[in-house]
Amino acid sequence: MTTSKTDSNLIAQEGQSADLDTVAVSRRKLLGGAVLAAGSLATPSLVSAAESNPDNLPPNVPEWTPYLGEGVDVNPYGMPSEHEAHVIRRSVEWLTASPESSVNFTPLHELDGIVTPNGLCFERHHGGVPEVIPQDYRLMINGLVDRELIFTIDDLKRFPQVNRFHFLECAANGGMEWRGAQLNGCQYTFGMVHNVQYSGVRLSDICREVGIKPEAKWVLAEGGDSAGMNRSIPIEKILDDCMIAYSMNGEALRPEQGYPARLVVPGWEGNMWVKWIRRLEFGDMPYMAREETSKYTDLMEDGNARMFTWVMDAKSCVTSPSPEKPILHKGQNLLKGLAWSGRGKITRVDVSLDGGRNWQAAELHDPVLDKSLTRFTLPFQWNGEDLLVQSRAMDETGYVQPTIQALQKERGVNSIYHNNAIATWHVKTNGEVENVRIG
């Protein structure tokens, strides 16, 4: 998405906000002054438990038991159950400039654990998905190196392999929500993030092979798509933990994710993870590419823009209950969520059910990995009362996920990037859940 596209849509949304204000006022009364603004998309209606066919229930023999099932090899590449057809990537019409320059969102609310299945990883392309022929794929290294080299995919696979889980988050994740609650869905508010296990080669190993000249301080990473997307990366990060990945979750990268090879820049904004990577140029200063000057800078209140805001600060979200996952049962329930930090491991996640007045520690589930999504859960009782559900992540540097008010104080509301503020789900008395802004 572009700044102007999002801004104009923010304005369009604001223009339609009269009836939302009325709703907000009545809620304010209900919740003791807490709620200020509400999400603008229709809330999904409360889903009742699907009707069961009594013939299939105990003590009867269900219809799938007495007969042979489908044989092996009906689906040479396995697909999920047809009953899971709703678990898909989704896009937002007003954020879709064109199918080739667009974004869709991961259905975080439908997932367990920390792995994003390959077919559900959100996609962000600036020039569509190129069909790269693996035999014709090359990675070229040039600039301030001793030996300018060109690698095939097989060449890359002969380097020592590393296998690491990392999250990739677009800098614009939640970018529509700087000014208020905009999109009524966990998928839309948080879904520009995915977490897979990458297999590939350390860039430090490739650097050793080509020999880096002492003057080399920056690397320009360039994609092979029609957007020719490129970014400057400081040499320290390249040597620290960057990878060229050729696999995700055990199989070849998907075309959407950069087949046959992409750059992995752990913990840093998704825009730098150049897909279909074709060239690394070593230089002595940043290249000031379009994606780091006109885009992916954060416009502050005073008109200055923060540049090179690479790290994705600690963030978390409650995936259930959420607008797509209303509470269906009174009594015992399980709250589920995800937390991540571009600075290291998550050390703690606190959950509030009353808009931030009281907090309790959630359980963090193994594995808790460096710069990876971390799963948390918290059992809770619900007796039909209003809840204002929030989560707050902390990482190993001691950083605590901020409130939106604290973030706005520091950065204003002009940016569409790097919104890692605590979000709020309003659980209503009928169990439906809405994205709201409180303050």
Give contact residues for ligand MTE (rule: CB under 6 A): 121-126, 168, 170, 194, 223, 225, 227, 229, 256-257, 270-271, 273-276
Instruction: Extract the tokens encoding 437.
Output: 């802004």
- CB-nearer residue toward Co ion: 270 or 402: 270
Q: What is the DSSP string of 168-187?
A: EE-TTTTGGGSSS-----HH
Closest contact distance (angstroms) between CB of 10 and ligand MTE is 19
CB under 5 to 8 A by kind: which of Co ion, ligand MTE, none does 233 bind?
Answer: none
Q: What is the DSSP string of 98-129?
A: BTTBEE-B--GGG--SSPPPGGGS--EESS--
Element holding 201 (H helix, E strand): strand 193-202
Query: What minimum distance in Å lies between the beta carbon of 262 and ligand MTE?
Result: 7
Q: Which listed option, Co ion, ligand MTE, none, makes contact with residue 351 (CB within 5 to 8 Å by class)? A: none
- Look at residue 229 and give the partner it binds from ligand MTE, Co ion, none, a contact being a CB closer than 5 to 8 Å depending on partner kind: ligand MTE
Distance CA 92, CA 233 (A): 31
**Residue 273 binds: one of ligand MTE, Co ion, none (C-beta under 5 to 8 A by kind):** ligand MTE
Residue 39 interacting partner from Co ion, ligand MTE, none (CB closer than 5 to 8 Å by kind): none
- Residue 175 has phi, psi (to 5 degrees) of -65, -20
With CB under 5 to 8 Å by kind, the binding choice for 207 among ligand MTE, Co ion, none is none
> Cβ–Cβ contacts within 10 Å for residue 98, how many?
7
Which one of ligand MTE, Co ion, none is in contact with 223 (Cβ closer than 5 to 8 A by kind)? ligand MTE
CB of 62 to ligand MTE, least distance (A): 40
Determine if 270 is a binding residue for Co ion (CB under 5 A): yes
- Binding partner of residue 185 among ligand MTE, Co ion, none, CB under 5 to 8 Å per kind? none
How many whole angstroms from its chain centre is CA 66? 44
Pairing of the two strands 277-283 and 162-169: unpaired
Closest CB to ligand MTE among residues 305, 364? 305
* Residue among 194 and 437 whose Cβ is closer to ligand MTE: 194
* Distance between CA atoms of residues 183 and 413, nearest Å: 17
Pull the structure tokens for residue 161.
Answer: 């392999």
Candidate list 104, 271, 352, 424; residue touching Co ion; CB under 5 A: 271
Residue number with CB closer to ligand MTE (258 or 431): 258
Of 187 and 333, CB closest to Co ion: 187
Minimal distance in Å, beta carbon 271 to Co ion?
A: 5
Closer to ligand MTE by Cβ: residue 296 or 382: 296
* Window 272-311: contact mask with Co ion (x via CB under 5 A): ----------------------------------------
| Separation between Cα atoms, residue 69 and residue 200, nearest integer Å | 39
Dihedral of CA 433/110/85/248: which sign? positive
| Rounded Cα gap, residues 238 and 201, in angstroms | 12
Residue with the two structure tokens 């954060």: 298
- Closer CB to ligand MTE, residue 245 or residue 349? 245
Q: Which of 170, 1, 225, 189 is nearest to 90 (CA)?
A: 189
Q: How far is the CB of 124 from ligand MTE (least distance, A)?
A: 4
Nearer to ligand MTE, 122 or 310 (CB): 122
Q: How far is CA 136 from the centre of its chain?
A: 31
Which partner, Co ion, ligand MTE, none, binds residue 237 by CB below 5 to 8 Å per kind?
A: none
Q: 47-50: which pairs have CB atoms within 8 A and are 24 or more residues apart?
A: 47/326, 47/328, 48/328, 49/328
CB-nearer residue toward ligand MTE: 124 or 202: 124
CA pair distance 277, 229, nearest whole angstrom: 9
Q: Residues 136 to 195: which contact Co ion by CB under 5 A?
A: 170
Q: Residue numbers of the site for Co ion (CB under 5 A)? A: 124, 170, 270-271
